[in-house]
Each structure stands twice: as structure tokens, then as C-alpha cells.
Structure 1
Amino acid sequence: MSEVVWTANLCSIEDGLRDTSRAVLRIHYRMALHSTGDGPVFVIAVPSSVFHTGLMHPSWTRILRLGQHSWLGLVGDVLYIGDETRPKRQLDLEIPIGLLPCLERPYEEVRAELGACERELSMLSGTLLSAVPLAAIPRTAVATQMDYWTSLSVPWLASLPASEVDDNVIIAIEEASWAGQASRHAARRLRRSRSRTWTRLPDDPS
């Protein structure tokens, strides 16, 4: 992780930090006190991702990149869609339209990024993964009746933990007259694959 490092005496630290988010700094900072002939010197290393051209919302913590200038983030413990500097709208957990861009990346990659963010923010493992409604994204994609998002949702449905997959979503894609042929066929293959998995009997030990 790239960092911007200041070395300053105590009175100039506040000036150096005035354009950054103190909320983020409280999470990320590493401080070391060194003694020199001129008195105490503080060295503060801050991840460069907290820097920006404008002022950051004081409690905006970005957790997942959604696009070039779009982020999923937290204000307190509430999920919002926003940009580099501030939240813009609260995320609907049931129909998370704002998370559709996640479908443009593999499910495993999105999951790994959230896991990395948990570690960076010193959160308990699984905190963000349980809070962000990843399993609701394919259902939301189908609700848009847009084949672009629907086609991207099928690989996600195949990658999600089996217990989190709604078979009705797969059937809806398979039967959707508005969906492209490739999407319908992919959904049919996935449904049949899941059916074989669930109905397969254990081998006869005899």
C-alpha cells in the first residue's frame, strides 16, 4: 500500500493534516515519536488513498470500489454509495441497485476486496461480508430486465455459496422472454448442474 509520509514538529502536524479525513486517519495512522536535537519529531504514515482534491466527509469510510469515481462505503454502520469524498445515497439492502457494477468483476474478487478491507480496518473477519448484500445482486440484476446485467449475474450465481442462491432467480432468467439466448441457456445449464448436485446419491459402499 503506497503511503504519504510527513515528518514535522508538533506544531505543524495540524496544518499538514487539515485537508484529510480525521475519521480515516484514526483508522489508518501509524505514529512514531523520535527524539532529535530540536525536540520531538512525529512521523506519520498515511495511506495515499485517503488523499483527494476536495474535503472528505468526516465519517465517510470507503470499503469497495464500484467504478472509477464510485464507492461503497460506511457512515457509522450504515452502507452508502458515494464518491471519493462523501456518501451520496443510502444503499437499499433488499434491492441494491448501486451494487450492480460488482457484477462486472468476478464474485471471488469482490469478496477478496471486502476481506482485505476488513483486515485494513482491523474489523472482525466476516463483518463486511455479512453486511454487504452480495447475494441480492443477481436478483436485483434480473429485476432490471436488462440482459447486460442479467448475463453477468449467471456467473455470480454459480460462484455464490450454494445456500445463498435463490433457484427462483435462475428459473426467472431461464424463462425470461426479454433475456438474450446466451443468458437463458447459461441459466438452464446452471439449474441442471445444481439439480444434479442436490439429487446425487452417495455411492453404494457395497
Structure 2
Amino acid sequence: MALSKGQKSYLVIEVWNWDNGYLANKMRIMTSSFQRPNPKAFKVEAKVSGHYVNSILACQEAKDKGFDEALVLDENGNVAESSGANVFFEKDGKLFTPAKGNILPGITRATVFQICEELGIPTEEKFFKPEEMQGADAGFFCGTAAEIVALDSLDNIAFTLDWESSLSSKVQQAYRHLVLEEDYSYLKTQPQYV
């Protein structure tokens, strides 16, 4: 054992049933006091097991305070992601998600962009504070474990649209169809806002 670079790499693949809280909808989330690791200290775009210590601390803090999950900020106070998933919020007919730099740009996140392009739902990557997300029309987490899970509120401020009438819900439905190799073109939206 050493702190130097290893000479060999090994691959292990494990499979098991997973029934976790992410599979439920309408999560109550809170802004965590824990920050996402600084990208100058870690390779934050890598899915590395050591990063999950930070995630566990943030998630446990949220659960200890009666929430379902944490929203983690970067070192500049911008929204980064949850303790284990990417985040989107919906406002005025458009989906917003944190820009790359302090996030793990996940495969499910990329799939959400693909779905939005196919359904005609505008998206934007940008840096934003949690206050901009609070009280938005809708929000969701997305990731391998989360798939796409609706958010109920952020810091006890509810999202304003009924989930079923949101564009975010259409993305969730399309994702479920996509993973089952089913057609979801019927969900294509007409522009709602000009």
C-alpha cells in the first residue's frame, strides 16, 4: 500500500437489486452546509468512490434535519448537484441545470438533454444560486440511481406547478419510455412561452 500511482488496474462488476429513496417522487430537499469538493483539489468530473464521503455527509445532514436529500453548492455558492445526482429546475417553459466545472456531468444528465432536444424543450446550462431555484415551476434530480425524480420543495419553499402539468414530468415520462425502448414522440411539446 502506498500513495503513489498504481502499476495495475482491476475491474470489478457487481450487480444487485436496489430499492432506495431516490425511486420515490416529490423529494423535500435542503441546501447543505457541505460544499462540493473544489475542482482544483479533486477531479470532480470523475466518478470516484472517495468523493462519496462528501456526499454521505451532505445527505446525512439533510436526513437529520427531516429532509429527503441535500442540494450541494460549489465553492462560489452556486448550485452544483445533490449528494448523488444532477439537478434541473424548470422556469417559464425552460429547463436550467448547473454548468460544467463543479459537477459530475452524468450520463442521465446527457440523456435529459437528448430528450429535451427531441421534445422541443429548451435547456440552458448556467451558474445559479439556490435562491433562483427556490419557488421555480418544477425541479428534478437525475442520475443512475435516481433516474428522474421530482422535487417537492427546496428549503421548505415549494415548486409552484403541479408536477403532472410540468415539462419536467414529460421528461420523466420520456426517460421511462426510452429505457424500455418505447416510443415517446407523443410527448413532443408546443412552445408555451414566447
TM range (shorter): under 0.3
Question: Taking CA–CA contacts closer than 8 Å with sequence separation of 6 or more, which of the two structures ends up with the larger relative contact order?
Answer: 2
Q: Is the helix fraction higher in 1 or 2?
A: 1
TM-score, normalising length: structure 1: 0.26
Q: Decide which structure has the larger Cα Rg and report it.
A: 1
TM-score, normalising length: structure 2: 0.27
